Structure 1
């Protein structure tokens, strides 16, 4: 993924108002992000534990979405699978992230959900740059490039459902 500026990120959101995009907290460490290892930029809102944001490249431009997830997490013995990168996590490592649809459907309250890594570090898990706590990745016969293509395909399918 190419590196993004704060303004690129704020301008990219498709499922929230301009005012909401202006007020959300953008990561302060953008210059330190491992952009070459990211398929999308994802982060949690520090002041609101039930909110996260994701920005992906589509058609040569960044597309951002605002996500919500339940603050109450499952017990440590429960394991879940991320629908994007297929990484398993114990407890609250995977959450049902819901996003309001873009446009009129979203303003009417329609949303779409997907189980994702709660920390949105799918790209780093795929590349072995981050290891899930007591979780893991399945041994696969797919190459890393094929796994990345599958993950971005899963993400783009989710974005399509949102109208992004």
Structure 2
């Protein structure tokens, strides 16, 4: 993930109003390790049910605001982004208002994601050894690549959906 400034992050939001963009809390920049992030995700300190995700799509930052669902899954859910099988943290359902006219009509897209957006850290851990001879490093590298593709596809879906 490339280093981004607060101004770049605020300008990247595609599914927010001007006032939502202005009110959004920013992540703690001094705590970010940019080269270990596949996307930037954080929760709003003032509104804990709100989260933000910024990723790179076509070389440009694209940010979305997410709202956590009040509905809890009946069983422990798996994150659709990092697909971590060890489940080190809670996974919650987030919904993002689509960009443009679709979003203004109330169209949303949902996803199950780690509640604190820990996916970049999760995919960098070596996976458990399922059988002798399993290439754990290759699996780890594949998980990192898949996370980037999955997050980019989600951001494109929020941005480009025209139905």
Q: When the two structures are superposed, what TM-score results if normalisation uses the length of structure 1?
A: 0.83
Greater mean deviation of Cα atoms: 141-150 or 49-58? 141-150
Q: Deviations over 1:30-77 (max 9, x none)?
A: 1330111000010001111211000001111111000011356568xx
Structure 1 gap ranges (5+): 130-136
User: Where do residues 14-33 of structure 1 align in structure 2 (5 Å cutoff)?
Assistant: 14-27=14-27, 29-33=28-32
1:145 is matched with 141
2:50 is matched with 51
Give the Cα–Cα distance (whole angstroms) in 2 for the partners of residues 16 and 36 of structure 1: 27
Residue 94 of structure 1 is aligned with which of 51, 68, 91? 91
Given the alignment of the two structures, is residue 67 of structure 1 paired with residue 63 of structure 2, yes or no? no
Q: Is the 8 A contact 2:12 2:62 kept in 1?
A: yes
1:11 is matched with 11
State the SS of the aligned residue for 1:143: helix
2:105 is matched with 108
Say which one has the larger Rg. 2
Question: Relative to total residues, which structure has the larger strand share, 1 or 2?
Answer: 1
Residue 76 of structure 2 is aligned with which of 64, 76, 79? 79
TM-aligned CA distance change 1:80 to 1:103, over 3 Å = same
Give the Cα–Cα distance (whole angstroms) in 2 for the partners of residues 156 and 139 of structure 1: 29
1:117 is matched with 114
Q: When the two structures are superposed, what TM-score results if normalisation uses the length of structure 2?
A: 0.84
Give the Cα–Cα distance (whole angstroms) in 2 for the partners of residues 64 and 48 of structure 1: 17
Equivalent pairs, count: 153
Greater mean deviation of Cα atoms: 52-61 or 120-129? 120-129
